[in-house]
Structure 1
Amino acid sequence: MADDMDDRKRALRAELRERRRIRTATERSADAAGITQNLIDLTSDLKVGYLAAYLSTPDEPPTREFLRWTAERGIRVLLPVSREDGLLDWAPYDGDDEEADLLGMPTPTSELLGPIAINGVDLILVPAACVDHSGMRMGWGMGYFDKTLGSMEACPPVYAVIFDDELVDSVPRERHDMPVNGVVTPSGIVSF
């Protein structure tokens, strides 16, 4: 049964990676504008002063314009840094240089904080491969965010940032998978 679940997740992730890879420049530009505005709206509506987010890679729904907006307004942001033990450290977003972490993901070069630094945030924005209509999130298979969310005593709202076609009817689910409270897409915000 576990092998079947792994195979289903692997196939779905491969399909989603390919869809992201072949997005046109026109689609990417329109998606960037929509996602940025919807992230601003969500942050404003929730009156967020401190959040955890991530630096998007070229194929992910873009977060960088939104992060620049947060810096301009003095909203404090923590960004994840992958650790070898499967946990996430956190670093304050300062809008300056970035480097790749051990998984090759972009991370800031600012002061490195431990895993519990996230405990004071008002909102958590997470990457996802897809999310279903019940709020079940499927990540990219490393489990970093599932471990982080599962270990928090008082978890604030968690929203995944995805493309419109990545809000799906159902995703393969395992015991350790953590749901989200909503999604931000180019066309809107959906809360579960």
Structure 2
Amino acid sequence: MQPIVSNLKRALRAELRERRRTRTSTERAEATEAFTQNLIALTLENKATFVACYLSAPNEPNTRPYLNWAFENGVRTLFPITREDGLLDWAHGDGESEVEGLFGTPEPVGELLGPIAINDVDLIIVPAAAIDVTGMRMGWGRGYFDKTLGSMKKCPPVYAVIYDDELIDAVPREVHDQPVNGIVTPTRILSF
């Protein structure tokens, strides 16, 4: 059963990567403005003063303008740092200074904090390949966020940032996969 689910995930991820890769610069710019406004609204709605958020890679929904807003408005941010053992460390950063992480993704330059640093945040904003209508998240296949979210005793709200067409009827699911509380797209904030 597991190899079938794994193959379904691999095929769906390939399709989603291609969709993201072929978005025009105009589509990306318009989406970035809308993502930013919706992420700000989500932060204010949750009265979040401390947020965990990823640094977006070039083909991901752009979190950079939102992070600039957070920095300018006194919202503290925590960024994930990948480790070889499959866990995430965390670091404070300015949202601008970065290095290339283990898998070529951007990671912050800053004091390295351990995996439990995320326990103090008010809101978690995660990347995703797709989310289904029940809130089940499908990531990009390494399981970092699933391990982190699955290990938290008291987890704050978790929202995935995706394009509108990445909200689908059902994602292939494995036992370790973790749901999210909602999504942020260019057109809406949706809570499950």
Q: TM-score, normalised by structure 2?
A: 0.99
In 1, the alpha carbon distance for the partners of 2:104 and 2:184 equals 24
In 2, the alpha carbon distance for the partners of 1:94 and 1:191 equals 28
* Pairing 1:1-192 to 2, within 5 Å after superposition: 1-192=1-192
5+ residue gaps in structure 1?
none
Q: TM-score, normalised by structure 1?
A: 0.99
**Cα deviation 1:135-173 (Å, max 9, x = unaligned):** 000000000000000000000000000001000111001
The percent of aligned pairs where both chains have the same amino acid is 64
Secondary structure of 1:159's partner? strand
Runs of 4 or more off by more than 3 Å in structure 1?
none
Secondary structure of 1:155's partner? coil
Report how many residues are paired: 192
In 2, the alpha carbon distance for the partners of 1:132 and 1:121 equals 25
In 2, the alpha carbon distance for the partners of 1:121 and 1:191 equals 19
Write the letter of the residue equivalent to 1:169. D
In 2, the alpha carbon distance for the partners of 1:95 and 1:181 equals 24
RMSD over equivalenced CA pairs, Å:
0.7
5+ residue gaps in structure 2?
none
In 1, the alpha carbon distance for the partners of 2:26 and 2:56 equals 18
- 1:93 deviation in Å? 2.0
Secondary structure of 1:183's partner? strand
